[in-house]
Amino acid sequence: MEVYQIAIVPLIVGIVELFKSLGLPGKFSALTAALLGILIGIFYVYPKDIPRGIITGLSFGLAASGLYSGTKNTVEGVRAMRTVRKK
């Protein structure tokens, strides 16, 4: 795996956000990210080594899910701090 393939993680986040804007329920976003990661791992990163593609893809998907969750929590925290300061 090359270092530039780490850009796959934000790509997965973007695709999941696209699916959510098309009506995907939020509770399925982590599962969707994991499945997208596995598909990318199998068909793009390691097409000749399926088990390695699954493991790598799953790590991409889980990282994307965590990136989304962490960003969402940070944004919510900042909004909460702003609300408290205005009072």
Q: What is the pLDDT along the chain (87 residues), one digit of tens a residue?
A: 566 677 999 999 999 999 999 999 888 888 999 999 999 999 999 999 999 999 999 999 999 988 767 777 677 777 877 777 766
Q: Where do the domains of the chain lie?
A: 23-86
Specify the pTM: 0.75
Contacts of 16 (CB under 8 A, 6+ apart): 24, 29, 32, 33, 36, 64, 68
